Structure 1
C-alpha cells in the first residue's frame, strides 16, 4: 500500500482489550496484512486475555468508574498523547464517541493528518431514545438526558462529521441515512459485520453434548437478549411453534446485559409455560455457543424495526449462514440484503405468526432447508468474512491516506 508501514491512532468506545470482532479481527489480524498498524486508545472494561500485537494499546481510565462518561475525553487525550509518543499517526480515527470525536478532529488538525470517524451505531439517536423512555419519569433526569442528546446532536452532526475526511459506517442503509442528512456519500465506506472464516468453519466445531436436545427439532437464537431488543418476541414464536410442532426446542444461546434482565427472561419462560420448549443457556464461551448452533435446524434473527436498528448490520444472520444453518430473519435493510443476495433463508416481517410459519416451513421442507444450507457458507466466504471486509477497509485507507502522502 505504502512504502512504509502506516499507523492509525484509534480511539474506541468499547472496552479494552477489545472483544468485538470488528476491532479484534479487522484491526488486530487483517489490517497488519496490508501494512497498517493500530494504536488503540480507550478505557479498560473487558477481561479479554489477548495482547494487542497489531500496534500498541493505551488504556487510560476504566468504564467501571462512575465518572467514566465525564472523564473519558480527558482519558482519551492522555491515551492519544501516549500513542503519538510511540508512533506518530498517519491518521486519527474515533469510533462512536462524541466529545472524543471533537478532540480527535482537533488533534488531527494540529498534527496535519486526516481525521476519520467510524460510526457503528447512531449514538445520538440512542441518547434520544433513552430521553424519550424517561419522558414519564423523573423530570430532572429527563432534562439531563435531553440536554445530553441535544448537545450530542450539535457536536456530532455540525462539528465532528463535517471535519472527517472519511466516515466508515455499519451498513449501506446507514450510508444512505447519513447521505440524507447532507453528508457526501463518496466520503463513506460501509463495513457490515462479518465472521472469522476459521472460527465459523462448521467442520471444526464440535456439536454440544446436551441430552436436552436429543429427539428435539432444535431452533437456535445466538446473541444477547434484552427488553430493548424485544427479546420476549422469541417466546411468542416459541409458543406458536409448540402448538404446531410440540417437539420443537428453541435454544437461546446468549446472555442479558444485567442479572435483572436475565431474571426477567427466565420468569417469562415460566410464566408462559415454556420451560419444556425454550432453553436459555446464559453466557457461553464462543465455542460452546457454536456447539449448540450446529445442532440446530433453523436459525432465528429478529431485529426490531426503527431508526436505531434499521441502520445496523446484525452478526447472527451471517453467522448462521456461515455455519450452513437455514435462517429466518426479519426485514431490516441489511438482513433483507443478505437474504436476497445469498438465497439462504427466508425474510419475513417481525411478527410471531410470520416467524413461526417460516420456521415450520424450513423444518418440514427438507429439500428447501438443504438448498439454503448449501448456499450460506459459499456466500459468506465471498462477501462477509473479515478477510473480504479487510481488503475493502484497506483500500479505503489507501484512498484516504494517499491524499496525505
Structure 2
C-alpha cells in the first residue's frame, strides 16, 4: 500500500478556508488519494467547520493592521507547529511572496521538495495599485507601494519560482504567460476553477420564492460587486436591453468588499433610473444565491481584460453551466475556452452593445437557450468538477514527488 502523503500548505486566504479550490479540492478530494494537508495561515474567515483532511495551524489574523508585515513570521511559527507531528513530504505555498521564500528555505533545510501554487498574479496586482496611487500624485504612499512592487517582483520571479520543483497555475493562459517569462512549461500544471458536483446539482436546489422575479425576464450576475471589476458595465447593458425587453430584470446576487462599493452601485442604479430593472441582493447564503440563480434565463460573466484577469479562471461561468443556465461571457482566455469546448453559451467582447445583443439572442431564441442548458451540466461533469481536478492534482503529485510513483 502506498504511504499517505503529507503536505505543509501555506495559504494566503483566511482560515478556516472558504474557497472551493482549497476547501473542496484539498479538504474533500485529496484525502481520496491519500493526501493529508497541514494548512498554515492566518485566521479571518467566519467558517467554523473543522479541517478533517489533516491539521490546521492558524497563527495571527488577517484582520490585524500589521498582517502584511507579520504574516511571514506567523507562517514560520505555523510551519513549526505543522512540523511537530512528522516531516512533511513537501512544502507548498499559495499566493504568498515573502512566505514563498520562507517555504523554499524551509524545504531546503528539511530536504523536501518545494511547490508553489499561483492562483493570481500578486506582483502585477501590486503594480496596478502602485499605478492607481501614482495617478493621484507621487508622494510617500506611492513610494511605499512602488518599493513593495519592485521587491515583490524580484523575490517571486528571481528567488521563489526558480526554486519550485513544480508550479500549479490557475489556467492554461497563466502557464503560457509564465512560460513567456522563461519558466519551463513542463514544470507547470493548470488547475482551473471547478464546482462541487453535488452542490451545483440543479435538481437539489429549491428556487427562491421572491415575487420581485415573477413575470420578469431574469438575467443574473452571481459574484462580487466592485469598481475594479467594472460592475457598472452590467448597468450599461441593461440600459440597452430595456427598450426592447421592458420586463428585463438584472439580479446582482452578491456583495462588495466594502460598504463604499455597495453605496457606489446603489447610487449608479438610482442615477440611471434602473431601480425597477435591477435587483441588488447584497450578501446571501450560498443556497439562497443558488435559488436565485436557477430562476434566471441567462447567466452573465463579464470580466475586464488586462494583465490581472486574462490569466484568471472565473468560477461563475462554470457554476452557471453546471446549473444548466445558458450564459454570456466575455473573451478572457479561460472563458473563451470553456464556451468553445462546452457549446453552452455565447462569447462576446466586454462592450455594452455586443454583450447586450448576445443576451437578447438567448432571451429571444428559446430553442437555442434550451440546447445550451442541456449541454452545460454534461460539460462540467466531464471537465470541471473538483473530482476531476482532484485526480489531475493527485496524478501531478505522483509524478513529481519522490516515492509516489
TM-score between both structures, scaled by the size of structure 1: 0.99
1:41-79 C-alpha deviation (Å, 9 max, x unpaired): 000000101110000000000001110000000000000
Q: Equivalent residue for 2:48?
A: 49
Q: For the residues of structure 1 that align with 2:380 and 2:194, how far apart are their CA atoms? A: 8
CA contact (8 A) 1:127 1:145 kept: yes
Q: For the residues of structure 2 that align with 1:105 and 1:242, how far apart are their CA atoms? A: 55
Cα drift, residue 210 of structure 1:
0.1
Q: Which moves more between the two structures, 294-303 or 395-404?
A: 395-404
| Matching of residues 3-14 of structure 1 within 5 Å | 3-14=2-13
Q: Equivalent residue for 2:172?
A: 172
Q: Equivalent residue for 1:278?
A: 278
Task: Give the secondary-structure state (helix, strand or coil) at the position aligned to 1:134.
Answer: helix
Q: Equivalent residue for 1:92?
A: 91
CA contact (8 A) 1:174 1:312 kept: yes
Q: For the residues of structure 1 that align with 2:404 and 2:151, how far apart are their CA atoms? A: 32
Cα drift, residue 394 of structure 1:
0.3
Q: For the residues of structure 2 that align with 1:242 and 1:125, how far apart are their CA atoms? A: 38
Q: For the residues of structure 1 that align with 2:285 and 2:33, how far apart are their CA atoms? A: 30
1:315-345 C-alpha deviation (Å, 9 max, x unpaired): 0000000000000000000000000000000
Q: For the residues of structure 1 that align with 2:157 and 2:389, how far apart are their CA atoms? A: 27
Cα drift, residue 87 of structure 1:
3.1
Task: Give the secondary-structure state (helix, strand or coil) at the position aligned to 1:101.
Answer: helix
CA contact (8 A) 1:253 1:289 kept: yes
Cα drift, residue 137 of structure 1:
2.7
Q: For the residues of structure 2 that align with 1:294 and 1:362, how far apart are their CA atoms? A: 16
Cα drift, residue 349 of structure 1:
0.4
Cα drift, residue 404 of structure 1:
7.8
Q: For the residues of structure 2 that align with 1:230 and 1:163, how far apart are their CA atoms? A: 37
Q: For the residues of structure 2 that align with 1:296 and 1:100, how far apart are their CA atoms? A: 42
Q: Equivalent residue for 2:382?
A: 382
Q: Equivalent residue for 2:233?
A: 233
Task: Give the secondary-structure state (helix, strand or coil) at the position aligned to 1:117.
Answer: strand
Q: Equivalent residue for 2:266?
A: 266
Task: Give the secondary-structure state (helix, strand or coil) at the position aligned to 2:401.
Answer: helix
Q: Equivalent residue for 1:158?
A: 158
1:134-166 C-alpha deviation (Å, 9 max, x unpaired): 013351100000000000000000000000000
Task: Give the secondary-structure state (helix, strand or coil) at the position aligned to 1:218.
Answer: strand
CA contact (8 A) 1:114 1:404 kept: no
Q: Equivalent residue for 1:38?
A: 37
| Matching of residues 3-402 of structure 1 within 5 Å | 3-137=2-136, 139-402=139-402
CA contact (8 A) 1:113 1:404 kept: no
Q: For the residues of structure 1 that align with 2:380 and 2:366, how far apart are their CA atoms? A: 22
Q: For the residues of structure 1 that align with 2:204 and 2:402, how far apart are their CA atoms? A: 40
Q: For the residues of structure 1 that align with 2:152 and 2:403, how far apart are their CA atoms? A: 30
RMSD over aligned CA atoms reads 0.9
Aligned residues: 404
CA contact (8 A) 1:60 1:76 kept: yes
Q: Which moves more between the two structures, 81-90 or 378-387?
A: 81-90
Cα drift, residue 284 of structure 1:
0.3
Task: Give the secondary-structure state (helix, strand or coil) at the position aligned to 1:86.
Answer: coil
Q: For the residues of structure 2 that align with 1:4 and 1:403, how far apart are their CA atoms? A: 9
After the TM superposition, which parts of structure 1 deviate over 6 Å for at least 4 consecutive aligned residues? none
Q: For the residues of structure 2 that align with 1:238 and 1:294, how far apart are their CA atoms? A: 20
Cα drift, residue 403 of structure 1:
6.4
Structure 1 pair 398/300, CA: closer, same or farther in 2 (3 Å)?
A: same
1:83-140 C-alpha deviation (Å, 9 max, x unpaired): 0102320000000000000000000000000000000000000000000000133511
Task: Give the secondary-structure state (helix, strand or coil) at the position aligned to 1:255.
Answer: coil
Q: Which moves more between the two structures, 83-92 or 164-173?
A: 83-92
Task: Give the secondary-structure state (helix, strand or coil) at the position aligned to 1:3.
Answer: coil
Long gaps (5+) in structure 1: none
1:11-63 C-alpha deviation (Å, 9 max, x unpaired): 00000000000000000000000000000000000010111000000000000
CA contact (8 A) 1:125 1:307 kept: yes
Q: For the residues of structure 1 that align with 2:311 and 2:379, how far apart are their CA atoms? A: 22
Cα drift, residue 244 of structure 1:
1.6
Task: Give the secondary-structure state (helix, strand or coil) at the position aligned to 2:243.
Answer: helix
